[in-house]
């Protein structure tokens, strides 16, 4: 299902009240309700067209629940890019200031802290339950638009399998429910037998009564990750895999007729699997779980999901056992999982709680290509964003030569760069004839050069030439004209200068 078919369960509408259905499992509604929290957020997304500017603040609401340890569990997208967060318990009127203590943008989960102990007086704390079964009854709690009273929606689990999480663009285990979920109930708990079976996350807009929750299994991984006080994220092998359902494909790679597996088509440079698995290997088992030719493993009896589940069950730094066939010979090995899922991507997926990276030289504004940048063209970005940028996003895996795609975003027009002022959104491949693998490398090349001219070459071989000394002398005037405080983002400043900025 395409990502565009989903919407996060956002703040402009929440779960509609469904009539109580006879036969649903009894739950202490009062005890659960005492733990339900409404979340008020003011957030500010960066302006990726003008990366030195902050975006306009936007207010919204979401839901959450109190858990052990005096924390509030919710979705990451409820509080991402938040500048001011408050919480209010069900049945009360007072709001309390809150802050994000831990957040997983990968799994769309967050934990909030509330410093005022009065917020937790006589509050219930919900516990995490098991992964719900298909056809098991669930109750979803949240605060709907159009009123200020908590609503409860009831339904059953329709399926459990991997889905793309809208917030991160990554695929994780998800629980589909047939409760009528509408945009708005972000972070509200899904309750089975008084325990948290998941957290409401997103809805499929092209179908009726299809909503998704982050399941307890993923939430437990998030909690376990935080046990050492540091969040590492979800690991990946760093492979591109192809299903092997075609018998001729299996014969080509010397796979016995009754043996299943998936074909390794690419091993990402620097990935966890580098040096252990090779292109052309066929993975047959992960942690002793057979991998089917369609790329799935058994989740439970008569239920299957992506084989990435086996990897995602692990914490960073753990070892994954892998069985594979190479040139007809069965082999085995161990992969130490040291990289998170986003580390192997050439173009980062949606990012949050970070400011854009940029570098200006001679009025030319450079930045890395990110999904956030192309989405700055609006909801119809797949059609509206420049084709040069869209084409550079695929295939989205780091190559042997490039760590990130560098873009000449725009030109701050002035006498210095006369004739180049209409150039924008082109991919830069070379500086002074040398290949560029990252924005930091481009910056280093420019600033270490002793040549009188600096040349930038795009993906089509067109060249921009600037006088280096003139750029150094006239750029302060350009920055002043366009009211830009710095020629680079804070993450590109020298360490000493960055520390000075933080002290201020």
pLDDT, tens only, 349-391:
999 999 999 999 999 999 999 999 999 999 899 999 999 999 9
Proportion of the chain above pLDDT 70, given as a percent: 90
CATH of 239-342, one of 2.30.42.10, 3.20.20.70, 1.10.10.1100, 3.40.50.300: 2.30.42.10
Structure confidence at residue 5 (pLDDT): 42
Tokens 């975003």 identify what position? 409
d(CA 465, CA 249): 50
Q: Which of the pair, 489 or 499, is modelled with greater confidence?
A: 489
DSSP state letters, 157-178: EEEEEEEE-TTT--EEEEEEE-
Examine the pLDDT at 481 and tell me if it is beyond 80: yes
Average per-residue pLDDT for the chain: 89
pTM, two decimals, is 0.88
Examine the pLDDT at 290 and tell me if it is beyond 90: yes
d(CA 98, CA 441): 39
Q: Residue 486 — φ and ψ, nearest 5°?
A: -140, 150
Tokens 């591109």 identify what position? 240
d(CA 267, CA 145): 47
Task: Specify whether the CB–CB gap between 355 and 51 falls below 8 A.
Answer: yes
Tokens 């917020």 identify what position? 119
How many Cβ atoms sit within 10 Å of the Cβ of residue 465?
A: 10
Task: Specify whether the CB–CB gap between 298 and 289 falls below 8 A.
Answer: yes
Structure confidence at residue 496 (pLDDT): 41
405-425 per-position pLDDT tens digit: 999 999 999 999 999 999 999
User: Which class is domain 3-228?
Assistant: mainly beta
Collapse the DSSP code of 383 into the 3-class scheme (helix H, G, I; strand E, B; otherwise coil) and give the result. helix
Tokens 């084709």 identify what position? 387
Q: Residue 285: pLDDT band by 50, 70, 90 thresholds?
A: very high
DSSP state letters, 92-150: ----EEEEEEEEETTTTEEEEE---GGGGTT---B-B-PPPPTT-EEEEEE--TTSSS-
Token pair recorded at residue 228: 């050492």
Across 244-255, average pLDDT: 95
Domain boundaries, the chain: 3-228, 239-342, 359-503
Q: Which residues contact 460 (CB under 8 A, 6 or more apart)?
A: 426
Task: Report CA dihedral (303, 306, 310, 314) to the nearest 10 degrees.
Answer: -120
d(CA 331, CA 351): 38
The alpha helices in 386-488, defined as continuous H runs, are 387-391, 439-448, 468-481
Structure confidence at residue 257 (pLDDT): 87
d(CA 434, CA 454): 11
Examine the pLDDT at 26 and tell me if it is beyond 60: no
Token pair recorded at residue 501: 């900025």
294-332 per-position pLDDT tens digit: 999 999 999 999 999 999 999 999 999 999 999 999 999
Residues carrying an active site annotation:
77, 108, 186
Examine the pLDDT at 269 and tell me if it is beyond 70: yes
CA distances from 9 to 56, 74, 185, 254, 316 (A): 21, 12, 5, 47, 29
d(CA 100, CA 393): 31
Across 102-124, average pLDDT: 95
Structure confidence at residue 182 (pLDDT): 60
Across 147-164, average pLDDT: 90
CA distances from 215 to 36, 133, 195, 212, 309 (A): 18, 11, 12, 9, 13
Residue 425: enclosing H or E segment and its boundaries? none
Across 264-276, average pLDDT: 93
Length of the chain: 504
d(CA 290, CA 395): 28
Least confident window among 112-116, 134-138, 399-403, 490-494: 399-403
Least confident window among 12-16, 113-117, 255-259, 452-456: 12-16
CA distances from 480 to 274, 357, 361, 408, 484 (A): 47, 20, 14, 20, 6
**CATH number corresponding to 359-503:** 3.20.190.20
Q: Residue 176: pLDDT band by 50, 70, 90 thresholds?
A: very high
Across 429-434, average pLDDT: 95
Across 1-11, average pLDDT: 41
Structure confidence at residue 27 (pLDDT): 58
Structure confidence at residue 146 (pLDDT): 66
Proportion of the chain above pLDDT 90, given as a percent: 77
- Smallest CA-to-CA distance from 97 within 74, 113, 78 is with 113
Tell how strand 109-113 and strand 171-177 pair up.
Answer: unpaired
Q: Which of the pair, 15 or 439, is modelled with greater confidence?
A: 439
DSSP state letters, 294-312: TSEEEEETTEEEETHHHHH
């Amino acid at each position: 299902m395409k990502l565009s078919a989903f919407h996060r369960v956002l703040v402009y509408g929440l779960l509609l009240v469904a009539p109580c259905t006879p036969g649903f499992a009894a739950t202490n509604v009062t005890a659960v309700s005492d733990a339900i929290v409404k979340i008020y957020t003011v957030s500010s997304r960066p302006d990726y067209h003008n990366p030195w500017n902050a975006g306009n603040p936007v207010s919204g609401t979401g839901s959450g629940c109190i858990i052990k340890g005096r924390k509030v569990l919710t979705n990451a997208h409820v509080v991402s890019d938040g500048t001011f967060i408050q919480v209010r318990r069900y049945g009360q009127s007072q709001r309390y200031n809150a802050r994000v203590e831990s957040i997983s943008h990968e799994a769309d989960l967050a934990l909030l802290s509330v410093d005022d102990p009065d917020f937790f007086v006589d509050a219930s704390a919900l516990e995490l339950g098991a992964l719900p079964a298909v056809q098991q009854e669930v109750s979803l709690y949240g605060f709907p638009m159009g009123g200020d009273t908590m609503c409860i929606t009831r339904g059953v689990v329709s399926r459990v399998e991997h889905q793309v999480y809208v917030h991160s663009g990554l695929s994780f285990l998800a629980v589909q429910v047939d409760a009528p979920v509408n945009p708005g109930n972000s972070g509200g708990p899904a309750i089975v037998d008084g325990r948290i079976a998941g957290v409401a996350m997103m809805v499929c807009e092209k179908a009726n009564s299809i909503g998704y929750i982050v399941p307890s299994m993923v939430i437990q991984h998030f909690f376990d990750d935080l046990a050492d006080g540091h969040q590492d994220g979800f690991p990946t092998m760093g492979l591109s895999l192809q299903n092997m359902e075609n018998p001729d494909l299996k014969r080509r790679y010397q796979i016995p007729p009754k043996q299943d597996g998936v074909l390794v088509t690419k091993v990402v440079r620097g990935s966890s699997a580098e040096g252990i698995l090779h292109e052309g290997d066929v993975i047959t088992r992960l942690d002793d779980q057979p991998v089917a030719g369609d790329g799935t493993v058994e989740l439970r009896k008569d239920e299957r999901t992506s084989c990435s589940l086996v990897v995602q069950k692990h914490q960073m730094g753990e070892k994954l056992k892998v069985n594979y066939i190479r040139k007809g010979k069965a082999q085995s090995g161990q992969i130490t999982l040291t990289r998170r899922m986003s580390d192997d991507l050439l173009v980062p997926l949606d990012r949050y709680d970070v400011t854009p990276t940029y570098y200006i030289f001679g009025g030319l504004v450079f930045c890395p290509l990110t999904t956030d940048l192309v989405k700055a063209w609006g909801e119809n970005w797949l059609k509206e964003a420049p084709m040069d940028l869209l084409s550079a996003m695929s295939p989205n895996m780091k190559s042997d030569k490039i760590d990130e795609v560098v873009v000449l975003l725009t030109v701050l027009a002035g006498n210095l760069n006369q004739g180049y002022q209409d150039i924008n959104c082109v991919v830069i491949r070379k500086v002074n004839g040398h290949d560029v693998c990252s924005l930091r490398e481009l910056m280093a090349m420019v600033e270490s050069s002793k040549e009188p001219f600096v040349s930038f070459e795009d993906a089509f071989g067109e060249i921009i030439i600037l006088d280096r000394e003139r750029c150094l002398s006239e750029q302060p005037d350009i920055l002043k004209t366009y009211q830009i405080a710095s020629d680079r983002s804070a993450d590109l400043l020298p360490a000493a200068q960055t520390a000075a900025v933080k002290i201020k």
